[in-house]
Amino acid sequence: MFRRLTEASGPALTVEIDGMRVPAQEGDTVAAAMLASDHVVARTSAVSGTARAPFCMMGVCFDCLVTIDGVGNRQACMTAVRQGMRIDTGRGKRQYGQ
Amino acid sequence: MTAALHESYDVAIVGAGPAGLAAASFCARAGLNTVLLDEQARPGGQIYRAITASPLQPDTVLGADYWEGRALVREALASGAHYVPGATVWGLLREGEVAVAVAGRAHLIAAKHVILATGAMERPFPIPGWTLPGVMTAGGAQILLKSSGLVPRGRTVLAGCGPLLWLIAWQYLNAGVRLEAVLDTAARASWSRALRHAAGFAASPYLAKGLRMMLAVRRELNVIGSIAALEAEGDGKLEAVTYRTSSGRAQRIGADALLLHQGVVPNVNLSLSAGVAHAWNDAQLCFFPLVDAYGASNVPRLAIAGDGAGIAGAQAAEARGQLAAIAVIRALRPQVQMGGQEQTARALLRRFERGRAFLDSLFRPRPQFRRPQGETVVCRCEEITAKQIADTVALGCPGPNQMKAFLRCGMGPCQGRFCGLTVTELMAHARGVAPQEIGYYRLRPPVKPITLGEIAGLPTNDAAVRAVARE
């Protein structure tokens, strides 16, 4: 959905989104890295199960909740990427046993 | 990140945008033990977001106003204030007790004075389809531009009204981004209404810059005015934007991204939860905290500075941060002379407050974009529609807090941030009363989610144990 205007200004990183290796830049938030790599959908909604993407980018809307390194309900727009970070997009409400 | 948090400070400042940075500089330079808590990883707030680390060079993409924030950040960081990034303030508990989470640990800090500089957020823009992936706030897209140098790749439509809308369109022009269309939702009649305040705006520092930007955007881009209806369409993601103008012309534009903006409003969750008195501002169509000329509120030793106390822009926020700091310095260090600084701050504030009435009037969002109807989602978290709210009012539900029991409206993870104003306006309109009478959600800490682990990890002392232990 987004492209980079500038070539790498900082070190290039690799993160894993739903098992796929994706490039990111130092200084990106998780949400920025997702939008730059066309992983637009962060989760499905808890009520109707419809897809949601990062919306406000400043920690207000909570639409970008993802699982980061095994910890659920993290705000992708408020979390800086780190090398090797594992990001899993969400599917509705937490299921029993997960 | 710097040294570990102390247990107590003279003053705790929440938010490192222009107001918080200016307040921290003043307090620390006057010898106060100052902590500046900010949720973001880097200083600057949203207006100067990523200013210390933007991948964009100080060239023409973002404009000179953005880069002016560098001096403010440099001064604050050199002032001796303890700057703590990544710090989420989740509550003001007992008087002077600031609850904050940093790097997965919760802390309670004692502060003699607290200055909230929590800034602004986007006004809700509830149109059909606004929850679809591909739709985001224009402010959010601008954050991506500032912090990661990201611009939309596919067919992009920008829609709404307000100074920020034109600024973003202009920045995209500078970056060589081609927008499919700019859909201007401001009412034509706004111009005649706004012109009553034109004398004030003629002296505003924003005038020349604003006009230059609007003209450049109008010359280069497909700007369509008098938008009366707007809709995002798609199955699982945005596919098209449809609109209708006041004269009845309707069109459908294929789109991969729709960026929405209709002004910003004060971010009041923390001040509301702390018991600060708020009132409805009919010119800015939002609630704002009632404060005096130094930002002091009805809660002792709690001040609010910057756009969190009413929208006036970055330079005014800087002045209001300084004024809040001056009052705190006078209370704690009466021997420090602040008369000169106060004069300068008041002059700066007067200069940048000029013309605000003109902007508020010109860019007043139209009723149909503030009060949706039918199946349009109002509460994004609990997926509550405008019709459900109207039906609940018809049942006799008097206000937003009672409505929670009926619909869970406002009770999702965003804690009402993106539906609160819409719910107030819808209920006020349906009941034929003023928004002030309807009021807002009652908010309580934690105003940001924290984990049980963070709470459980709070340091305990005898007083804390006594507070919860049953004998």
- The token pair at A31 is 């949400």
Q: Give residue B341's identity as a one-letter amino acid code.
A: Q
Q: Strand order in B156-161's β-sheet?
A: B135-137, B257-262, B156-161, B181-184, B223-224
Which residues are registered as beta bridge partners of B429? none
pLDDT surpassing 90 at residue A94: no
What pLDDT sits at residue B216? 94
Q: Does a structural domain hold residue A35?
A: yes
Which residues are registered as beta bridge partners of B87? B102
Percent pLDDT > 90 in chain A is 81
What pLDDT sits at residue A3? 96
- CATH number for the domain that contains residue A62: 3.10.20.440
- The token pair at B411 is 């009770």
Using alpha carbons, select from B433, B361, B446 the residue that is nearest to residue B398: B433
Which residues are registered as beta bridge partners of B289? B278
Pairing of strands B377-379, B384-385: antiparallel
CB of B169 closer than 8 Å to CB of B327: no
Angle (CA) A48 A53 A57, round 5° = 130
CB of B99 closer than 8 Å to CB of B447: no
Choose among A47, A51, A77: nearest Cβ to B236.
A51
Q: Does a structural domain hold residue A56?
A: yes
Indicate the angle between helix axes B314-332 and B339-353, nearest 10 degrees.
150
Q: Does a structural domain hold residue A51?
A: yes
Is the CB of B380 less than 8 angstroms away from the CB of A2?
A: no
Q: How far is residue B437's CA from residue B440's CA, in Å, rounded to a whole number?
A: 9
Ranges of residues in chain B whose predicted pLDDT is under 70: 1-3, 471
Q: Which of B42, B150, B260 to mutate to test the interface with A (most CBs of A within 10 A)?
A: B150
In order, the DSSP letters of B195-235 are HTTHHHHHT-THHHHHHHHHHHHHHHS-EE--EEEEEEE-S
- The token pair at B247 is 């004269």
Is the CB of B137 less than 8 angstroms away from the CB of A57?
A: yes
Name the domain count of chain A: 1
Q: How far is residue B403's CA from residue B392's CA, in Å, rounded to a whole number?
A: 7
Tens digit of each residue's pLDDT (9 = 90 or more) over B415-453: 999 999 999 999 999 999 999 999 999 999 999 999 988
- The token pair at B393 is 């009012």
Q: Give residue B210's identity as a one-letter amino acid code.
A: G
Q: Does a structural domain hold residue A7?
A: no
Q: Give residue A12's identity as a one-letter amino acid code.
A: A
Is the CB of A51 less than 8 angstroms away from the CB of B413?
A: no
Q: Chain B residue closest to A53 (CA)?
A: B133
CB of B230 closer than 8 Å to CB of B127: yes
CA distance B447 to chain A (A): 11
What pLDDT sits at residue B374? 98
Q: How many CA atoms lie within 13 A of B348 on its CB side?
A: 19
What backbone phi and psi angles, to 5 degrees, belong to B120?
-120, 165
Q: Chain B residue closest to A2 (CA)?
A: B152
Is the CB of B148 less than 8 angstroms away from the CB of A27?
A: yes
What pLDDT sits at residue B464? 73
Q: Does a structural domain hold residue A83?
A: yes
Q: Any chain B CB within 8 A of the CB of A6?
A: yes
Sequence-distant (≥ 6) Cβ neighbours of residue B415 within 8 angstroms: B269, B441, B443, B447, B448
Is the CB of A47 less than 8 angstroms away from the CB of B382?
A: yes
Q: How far, CA to CA in Å, does A17 sit from each of A34, A41, A92, B52?
A: 8, 11, 17, 28
Is the CB of A53 less than 8 angstroms away from the CB of B136?
A: yes
pLDDT surpassing 80 at residue A33: yes
> B345-371 burial by CB neighbour count: b if 16+ within 10 A, else e?
beebbeebbbbbbbbbbbbbbbeebbb
- The token pair at A88 is 């899993």
Q: Does a structural domain hold residue A70?
A: yes
Q: Chain B residue closest to A28 (CA)?
A: B148
Sequence-distant (≥ 6) Cβ neighbours of residue B386 within 8 angstroms: B126, B371, B372, B373, B374, B375, B376, B378, B426
What pLDDT sits at residue B209? 86
Sequence-distant (≥ 6) Cβ neighbours of residue B200 within 8 angstroms: B354, B355, B356, B357, B358
Range of the domain at A53: 12-88
CA distance B181 to chain A (A): 17
> Is the omega angle on the peptide bond into residue B266 within 30 degrees of 0, that is, cis?
no
Is the CB of B150 less than 8 angstroms away from the CB of A4?
A: yes
Q: How many cross-chain Cβ pairs, A to B, lie less than 8 Å apart?
A: 128
Which residues are registered as beta bridge partners of A17? A20, A87
Q: How far is residue B197's CA from residue B260's CA, in Å, rounded to a whole number?
A: 26
Q: Any chain B CB within 8 A of the CB of A59?
A: yes
Tell me which residue has tokens 């637009």: A40
Q: Chain A residue closest to B382 (CA)?
A: A47
Tell me what the pLDDT averaged over chain A comes to: 92
Is the CB of A46 less than 8 angstroms away from the CB of B151?
A: no
What pLDDT sits at residue B287? 98
Q: How far is residue B413's CA from residue B380's CA, in Å, rounded to a whole number?
A: 10
Q: Does a structural domain hold residue A18?
A: yes
Q: Using DSSP, state whether B63 is helix, strand or coil.
A: coil
Instruction: State CA B47 to chain mean position distance.
Output: 10
Which residues are registered as beta bridge partners of B157? B181, B258
CB of B233 closer than 8 Å to CB of B247: no
Is the CB of B134 less than 8 angstroms away from the CB of A53?
A: yes
What pLDDT sits at residue B408? 97
Q: Does a structural domain hold residue A98?
A: no
Using alpha carbons, select from B118, B141, B116 the residue that is nearest to residue B45: B118
Q: How far is residue B83's CA from residue B409's CA, in Å, rounded to a whole number?
A: 36
Is the CB of A62 less than 8 angstroms away from the CB of B381?
A: yes
Report how many helices (DSSP H) and strands (DSSP E) chain B contains, helices first.
19, 22
Q: Determine which helix (DSSP H) or strand (DSSP E) holds B266, and give its type and residue range.
A: strand B264-266
Average pLDDT over residues A48-73: 96
Using alpha carbons, select from B311, B313, B294, B310 the residue that is nearest to residue B302: B294
Which chain B residues are closer than 8 Å to A41 by Cβ? 133, 237
